[in-house]
């Protein structure tokens, strides 16, 4: 039976991760996969996580099953983190939350739910979007189409083109996927005014917004980064949200995320919940416990929350610093090219704006790894490698 299958190329981001791990050049720079790194190039366990894990080790007294919805404390804390703790939506009975295996698990469960609502439904994705969005949504049966988003020439958002496309081609009931903050791969985010316009468009045309937020706290701040989520939760009758704790809690391998469905009223929310939990039961039955228990412990403790928020703020500030530093170094290099946009953008990623042959040359000749699109993980830069990076790029661009 298996002989009928043909092999697929590996996921480009994961392939890059494997390639750079095999490279022994001591000067190599990994700007591929979206993982935060400190000044030493390490991705340490956050202190708040470490402390919560120790508490868990001392106090956890069973490994019995949780439930398809996962950890109730985690779900309620994640809803507060995203919505703001005094948001009336939290008490409205309209919100269903399920803990999921990472942001990918959340995306896939949301996609399965949406495909159940309307099989083969259309999801509008930004052009470009995170490389895994298409396969995750398509695998559930949804159709993906694109709206214009990143302007490679001006390094900003093609907002008018985005709005025109959705206005003229999206139909009532279509789904519009938006990045809550720190757009992956471009780092170019909607501003508040643009969020308001997209919300108004979705309301007027009956489009269902689906916000994927995987980097809350790594852009401008925990509350600032949730602006779009909170606005849409206030205005829209229905909303889908997927969130990840991979980056802001550094829990990558613990696969910790959440899916949230905002329904028009509490009765519909009860039905949506029963369907979502049944989809989860039929897929992986229930999520793994560890990462969510850690987040639950942190967010339930004022002290650990402060430790975590301080660490997250330091990560965010470091990324801001690196954005500024790399722009300054390019200016100082004398290269006749404006990289100033890197400082305007937000979160872990930006496109360097070089072509695939140049990306390849950086890998081959300098052991600098980035996705073919020239997306770089800013957090992969450091005081130790930033000069080597800028010199190498400058050489490749001058060649
Ligand atoms: C990324 O975009 O690099 C991260 O979200 C990691 C991944 O799974 O692709």
- pLDDT tens, position by position, 154-190: 999 999 999 999 999 999 999 999 999 999 999 999 9
Q: Could you tell me the pLDDT band of residue 384, with boundaries at 50, 70 and 90?
A: very high
Length of the chain: 399
Spatial separation of the C-alpha atoms in residues 295 and 76, rounded to whole Å? 11
Distance (Å) from CA 19 to ligand 1 centroid: 15
Q: What is the dihedral of CA 226, 371, 352, 21, to 10 degrees?
A: 100
**Would you say the CB of residue 35 lies under 6 angstroms from ligand 1?**
no
Q: Could you tell me the pLDDT band of residue 388, with boundaries at 50, 70 and 90?
A: very high
**Would you say the CB of residue 17 lies under 6 angstroms from ligand 1?**
no
User: 118-128 burial string, b = 16+ CB within 10 Å, else e?
Assistant: eeebbbbbbeb
Average pLDDT rounded to a whole number, residues 48-64 = 97
Closest ligand 1 atom, CA of 371? 3
For residues 96 and 276, the answer to whether their CB atoms sit within 8 Å is: yes
Closest alpha carbon to 129 in 170, 163, 178, 75: 178
Q: Determine the pLDDT at residue 287.
A: 98
Q: Determine the pLDDT at residue 252.
A: 98
Distance (Å) from CA 242 to ligand 1 centroid: 15
Average pLDDT rounded to a whole number, residues 267-275 = 98
User: Do 11-46+316-398 and 65-300 come out as alike in CATH topology?
Assistant: no
Architecture of the domain made up of 11-46+316-398: Alpha-Beta Complex (3.90)
Instruction: Count the alpha carbons within 13 Å of 223 in the hemisphere toward its beta carbon.
Output: 4
Distance (Å) from CA 82 to ligand 1 centroid: 21
Given a cut of 90, whether residue 313 has pLDDT beyond it is yes
Domain range list for the chain:
11-46+316-398, 65-300
Cα separation values, 270 from 57, 107, 175, 261, 274, Å: 35, 20, 21, 11, 6
DSSP label at residue 99: E
Spatial separation of the C-alpha atoms in residues 13 and 31, rounded to whole Å? 10
CATH 3.40.605.10 holds for 65-300: no
For residues 308 and 48, the answer to whether their CB atoms sit within 8 Å is: yes
**Would you say the CB of residue 99 lies under 6 angstroms from ligand 1?**
no
Cα separation values, 106 from 101, 198, 395, Å: 7, 23, 42
Q: Could you tell me the pLDDT band of residue 12, with boundaries at 50, 70 and 90?
A: confident
Given a cut of 90, whether residue 11 has pLDDT beyond it is no
Task: For ligand 1, pick from 17, 32, 33 the residue to mutate: most ligand atoms within 8 Å of CB.
Answer: 33
Average pLDDT rounded to a whole number, residues 110-130 = 98
């Amino acid at each position: 039976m298996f002989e009928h299958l043909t092999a697929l190329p590996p996921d480009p981001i994961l392939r890059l991760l494997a390639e750079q791990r095999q490279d022994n050049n001591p000067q190599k720079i990994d700007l591929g996969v979206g993982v935060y790194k400190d000044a030493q190039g390490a991705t340490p366990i956050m202190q708040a996580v470490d402390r919560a894990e120790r508490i868990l080790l001392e106090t956890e007294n069973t490994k019995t099953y949780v439930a398809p919805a996962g950890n109730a404390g985690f779900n309620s804390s994640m809803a507060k983190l995203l919505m703001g703790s005094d948001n009336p939506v939290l008490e409205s009975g309209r919100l269903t939350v399920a803990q999921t295996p990472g942001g990918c698990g959340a995306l896939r469960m949301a996609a399965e739910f949406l495909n159940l609502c309307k099989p083969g439904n259309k999801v509008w994705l930004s052009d470009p979007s995170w490389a895994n969005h298409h396969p995750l949504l398509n695998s559930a049966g949804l159709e993906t189409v694109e709206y214009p988003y990143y302007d490679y020439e001006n390094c900003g958002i093609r907002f008018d083109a985005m709005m025109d496309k959705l206005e003229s081609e999206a139909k009532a009931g279509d789904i519009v996927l938006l990045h809550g903050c720190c757009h992956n791969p471009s780092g170019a985010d909607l501003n508040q005014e643009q969020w308001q316009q997209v919300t108004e468009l979705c309301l007027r045309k009956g489009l269902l917004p689906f916000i994927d937020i995987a980097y809350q706290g790594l852009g401008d701040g925990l509350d600032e980064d949730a602006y779009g989520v909170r606005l849409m939760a206030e205005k829209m009758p229905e909303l889908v949200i997927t969130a990840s704790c991979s980056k802001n809690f550094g829990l990558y391998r613990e696969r910790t995320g959440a899916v949230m469905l905002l329904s028009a009223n509490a009765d519909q929310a009860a039905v949506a919940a029963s369907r979502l939990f049944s989809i989860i039961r039929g897929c992986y039955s229930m999520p793994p416990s560890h990462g969510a228990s850690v987040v639950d412990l942190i967010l339930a403790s004022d002290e650990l929350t402060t430790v975590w928020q301080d660490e997250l703020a330091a990560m965010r500030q470091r990324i801001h610093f690196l954005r500024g530093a790399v722009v300054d170094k390019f200016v100082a290099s004398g290269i006749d090219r404006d990289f100033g946009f890197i400082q305007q953008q937000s979160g872990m990623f930006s496109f360097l704006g070089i072509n695939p042959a140049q990306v390849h040359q950086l890998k081959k000749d300098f052991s600098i790894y980035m996705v073919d699109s020239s997306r770089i993980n800013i957090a992969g830069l450091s005081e130790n490698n930033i000069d080597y990076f800028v010199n190498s790029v400058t050489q490749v661009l001058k060649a």
